[in-house]
Amino acid sequence: YEIEIVTGVQTCALPIFALLRLARGRAMSSAPMTVAVLPGDGIGPEVMDVAVKVLNHAGGLFGKSFKFNHAPVGGAAFDASGDHFPQSTRQACMDSEAILYGSVGGPVSEQHLPKWKDAEKNAVLGIRKAFDLAVNVRPATVYPTLAHASPLRSEIVDKGVDMVIIRELLGGLYFGEHKTEGDKATDVCEYSADQIRRPLEFAFTAAKQRRGRLTVVDKANVLDTSRLWRRVANEMAAQHPEVELEFMYVDNAAMQLIKAPSHFDVICTENLFGDILSDAASVLPGSLGLMPSASLGSSKYMYEPSGGSAPDLTGLDVANPVAQILCTAMMLRYTFALPEMAAAIETAVSSTLAAGICTADIAPPGAQPCGTKAFGDAVCKQLSETHA
């Protein structure tokens, strides 16, 4: 997912692009980069420790330093303060240039307890709203060396799977009115043209810098909001003649993701469709632990793994830290405009995987898996060897 979104966007007035341009200036500064670190629950803290270690190690090699503002979120925060996204955590985020998020949530059997009830929703929707995180970016790439781990047959995966899903994050059914009156419940799906333009602008730019295809996913045969998405996308297409724009119904898109994933380059869609499709796409690489994601807002961005808190794996040193490590690379690229340092981390991760060093979730049959910490150490070693 080599998207160099920072370049080439000179005239766009959208806050996201303004921020990305500002990041270029930030890259020249020698002041420590401030990062809010919210490890959360389950495997969050373990994979976050590894990611922060890799980031510090890369910083040493590239002459960059960080100031981390640690803060609890989710169940961990509830234990401390009775709130899944407390004011002190919000403040830590406000005081930082970027937010590194782990994962939130507890075991299924404990979901009814106040500690876990709505923990994910309160924490993650709270942060999205608080920081106006309107555009979510989730890549799904099958590493050729890990093709064995993909649930798809090799003749499908061998064609190459490398897509990025851009999801609108603050509209649609998630943030419309919700109400229940006796046996009747209502959730309102609402979009304005301005809301739709934000993810689409990013998606057109991403497509231009990648393979040039943008698939807008909707349900325009049924929904008015989808027809508005089509209208706005068609209007914007005139300014992006180099992008091949296509529309696809969401049910068909779900099918094509499995049948012909190599078809996709950039997918852009509304909130709920994006939630569902990005989960489907996230298993194509072979493990939920492989892909990072970014949520882009008007004042700062948040980076989190696409997978969850995996309570059953907690504390066993078996969780895959790749997604969390790649979050730091995404952060270096988007918030701090340090694409070389980002690429160094990404290359170190893929070289480590290519050398057969991997956690149990993706280890080839018969191979000896390594632990969470050992994987991080191997990435650091790889970084030192290439960038000493």
Interface with ligand IPM (CB under 6 A): 120-121, 124-125, 275
Q: Which partner, ligand IPM, Mg ion, none, binds residue 317 by CB below 5 to 8 Å per kind?
A: none
Could you say which of 1, 174, 191, 334 is catalytic?
174
**Residue 317 annotated in active site:** no
Nearer to ligand IPM (CB atom), residue 125 or residue 326: 125
Straight-line distance from the first to the last Cα atom of the chain, in angstroms, rounded to the nearest whole number: 25
Q: From residue 26, give the alpha-carbon distance in Å to each of 48, 280, 302, 346.
A: 24, 36, 17, 21
Residue 275 bears catalytic tag: yes
Asked if 83 is an active-site residue, the reply is no
Q: What is the DSSP letter of 254?
A: H
- Using CB distances below 5 to 8 A depending on partner kind, what does residue 148 bind out of ligand IPM, Mg ion, none? none
Name residue 239's amino acid: Q
Q: Closer CB to ligand IPM, residue 174 or residue 229?
A: 174
Rounded CA-CA distance 155/341 in Å is 34
Q: 269 and 171 in contact (C-beta within 8 Å)?
A: no
Both structure tokens of 19 = 């921020």
Q: Is 312 a catalytic residue?
A: no
- By CB under 5 A, tell whether 272 contacts Mg ion: no
- Which of ligand IPM, Mg ion, none does residue 162 bind (CB under 5 to 8 Å by kind)? none
| Residue nearest to ligand IPM according to CB distances in the complex | 120
Which of 187, 275, 317, 377 is catalytic? The answer is 275
CA distance 239 to 273: 26
Which residue, 125 or 341, has its beta carbon nearer to Mg ion? Answer: 125
Is residue 218 part of the annotated active site? The answer reads no
Of 83, 279, 317, 377, the active-site residue reads 279
Residue 163 CB, shortest distance to ligand IPM, in Å, is 16
Q: Which is nearer to ligand IPM, 94 or 173 (CB)?
A: 173
Q: Pick what 124 binds: ligand IPM, Mg ion, none; C-beta below 5 to 8 Å, kind-dependent.
A: ligand IPM
Distance separating alpha carbons of residues 309 and 100, to the nearest angstrom: 14
CA angle in degrees (0–180, nearest 5) for 350-356-360 = 100
State the minimum distance, in angstroms, from the CB of residue 309 to Mg ion. Answer: 13
Residues touching Mg ion, count (CB under 5 A): 1
Phi, psi angle pair for 244, to nearest 5°: -85, 110
Q: Is 275 in the site for Mg ion (CB under 5 A)?
A: yes
Distance, CA of 258 to CA of 253 (rounded, Å)? 9
Q: Which of 53, 129, 219, 373 is catalytic?
A: 219
Q: Residue 265's binding partner, choosing from Mg ion, ligand IPM, none, with beta-carbon cut-off 5 to 8 A by kind?
A: none
CA distance 207 to 267: 9
Decide whether 187 or 275 has the Cβ nearer to Mg ion. 275
Here the tokens at position 185 are 């419940």
Three-state DSSP class for residue 290: coil
Q: Cα(251)–Cα(199) distance, rounded to whole angstroms? A: 21
Q: Please state the closest distance from residue 26 (CB atom) to ligand IPM, in A.
A: 27
Tell me which of Mg ion, ligand IPM, none is bound by residue 326, counting a contact when its beta carbon lies within the kind-specific cut-off of 5 to 8 angstroms. Answer: none
- What is the rounded CA–CA span in Å between residue 367 and residue 320? 16
Which of 117/230 has CB closer to ligand IPM? Answer: 117
Tokens of 5: 């979104």
Residue 216 tokens, joined? 């807008």
The residues annotated as belonging to the active site are 174, 219, 251, 275, 279
Which parts of this chain interact with Mg ion (CB under 5 A)? 275
